Structure 1
Amino acid sequence: MTEQDKRLEILEANRRFFDTVADSFAEIDAYRLKETGQWVGDELKKLSQEAGSSALLDLGCGTGLAIQAGKGYFRHVFGIDLSHKMLREVSSGSNGSVCGDAIYLPFRADSFNVVACVSVLHHLFDHLPVFQEVHRVLKKGGLLYAVHDVDSVFMKRFHRPANLYRQCLGLSKKFVESKEGITEELLELADYHVAEGIDTQKLAEELQEAGFPDVTAEFYWRGANRQIDFLLRFFGAMGKTPRGFAPYFSVIARK
């Protein structure tokens, strides 16, 4: 199978998965969506002050988490997603949401101050073509904000407990049991980088190759589940963690 064939296979798996679960996705993943939305909103507020508040793009918007989180901080908010059925679930708040592929963004160059990708990168076969498109549509000084994807160093270091945690959490099982046609194989293809995580060092290199000279990454635990978030708040440990000791990462890249 060629790389292009693999990319198309993963693209189709994501389309099928999200079209199938669209009407129940927000209910099944309710806690993570609510918790993530709160601090994504706080971050988007800061980014709007830093990069400008004219326009935000929620890339891979799904049901519109970043649209809702950022609509109070940007004059114009747009969303794009591969699944047209997920787009039907987007609440009001955007100036427009379109169905499309992340490597062919239907927007003019220099259109957005901020492009947000919330839990998107692990669904993509390759990242460089997407970063090149994001760079094109961002204004000069604009920011890419990618958040809530899994770090490969953590997954290598804590592979067994991480997989045990995923099994105990049972989110994959909930999706498989929720709809006919959702299989473990389909979910593994759609969540392409979840099992091994994403190499953030390689990610930073690809961002720089795409034209982003300034790239920063942070690693964190928040948003994992209700119990972990409670402990983090109790011990005042909601902030960043050294790489390899937290499952999730966020990246901010400046054009």
Structure 2
Amino acid sequence: MTHLVEGKAGLVTGAGSGIGRASALALASSGAKVMVSDIDETAGGETVELIREAGCTAEFFRCNVAEETQVAALVDATVTAFGKLDFAFNNAGMNGVFAPLDEIDSATWDRVISVNLTSVFYCLKYELAAMKKQGGGSIVNTSSGAGLTGIFNNGPYNASKFGVVGLTRNAAMDYGQFGIRVNALAPGSTATPMMMNAFEQNTEEFKAQILNSIPMRSLVEPADQGAAVVWLCSDASKMVSGIALPVDGGWLAGK
């Protein structure tokens, strides 16, 4: 990948595995200094080591994005370490629980909304303030294909990811005047450890059903998501703001 983000610095949440790790690696290999953040210190540390082994720059900061004070500290630590915040990829999140709404307890609802949606508000709140002060930047929030179309029996997750798109568009409108772009990534079925574990624990019929729902008949690779994040964080997309970009092998095309 070319050095699209050469000289830039920023943060990635949920960077201990999957899309977050692939994106942190892609940003670093494209010339950026990256603050790797995750609630799992071991996994986050492994991402940092992978980046450093490639001759690139990364630091680690543990953060539970559902806690506002920890998010504020993460943004402060990034600016302190690198002197600026050119980009932020707010990727940390969790899966929902597949059940009809009348069978979902309030604690489950609160947990999914807190981790997937309220956390993005916290991240935006402090990242936008930092970027506004320095005169610009680019933010990418992880939504989902489930943030653009309904999914059976997945109400809390659906609601949280639709909410991420709404926050993204609102922030893009409010902060464009300050040179800040805000976009959302909408991943489809991606070959993350979580997805591969689901394949291993289910039948061949389940795997075939997932693959047949994708026009390109293949799972998206985490590196494909990372490439999209690099582009959205780079000046190559300098007039792109307020979008939700599906990276899903065409899954949403027929929805």
TM-score range, shorter chain: 0.3 to 0.5
The TM-score, its normalising length taken from structure 1, stands at 0.47
The TM-score, its normalising length taken from structure 2, stands at 0.47
Structure that is richer in helix per residue: 2
